[in-house]
Structure 1
């Protein structure tokens, strides 16, 4: 049977293409984020906080499609770097508010070139990456 027609051929699996692409995306970002002192997951946290701060840990986890137990150590590391602050809500001690510090807010200016560096790295423009992002939306559980 011709593998191009084989529905179970590895190269025909969208799941394999997405998993492979995800690994490669992280490796593309790694050297770009290193000068900022950020890992890829920390970068995602910072992106969310640059859009809106403060946020509860739960709201941040939901926005990033992460479990709070996975997100919490990332936030603690960012706090250790002086980029975010975790504070208990005075009205509800169970709620943990995550806010940017001055240093965390200032880091945004240094991160402005990250998307451009990624585009240059993969040889794609913003429109092509937007189309790719939108095409992946059904798999990411988000609608555009």
Structure 2
């Protein structure tokens, strides 16, 4: 009687192939997720600037208690919000946590976009989202 099935060698080769594919795919997926979180944070910084400027137009000041004016998000996926303001100036920051902890971006009342930390370096004139932009 002939037995059918897989040999141990065949199973080990299959597991090795799956491991190699996972080793290639997982870092790529992690970078994709990080890029999407960074894009969301940058969008929220742009929205925060618009909100702060609208608040200033309506109230003549950027101050509004602890939340630093209108339109500033409390947090976004993977990023925490921070804001400092006086009556005539403000600075909004988004600081990464978890898988995006290497990123920190800011914008101020002059529209100055700054990359305070990223895997690609820092910049006082733009938001670095890759090694080729800016």
TM-score by length of 2: 0.31
Bigger relative contact order (CA 8 A; separation at least 6) = 1
Greater per-residue strand proportion:
2
Tell me which structure has the larger Cα radius of gyration. 2
TM-score by length of 1: 0.29
Greater per-residue helix proportion:
1
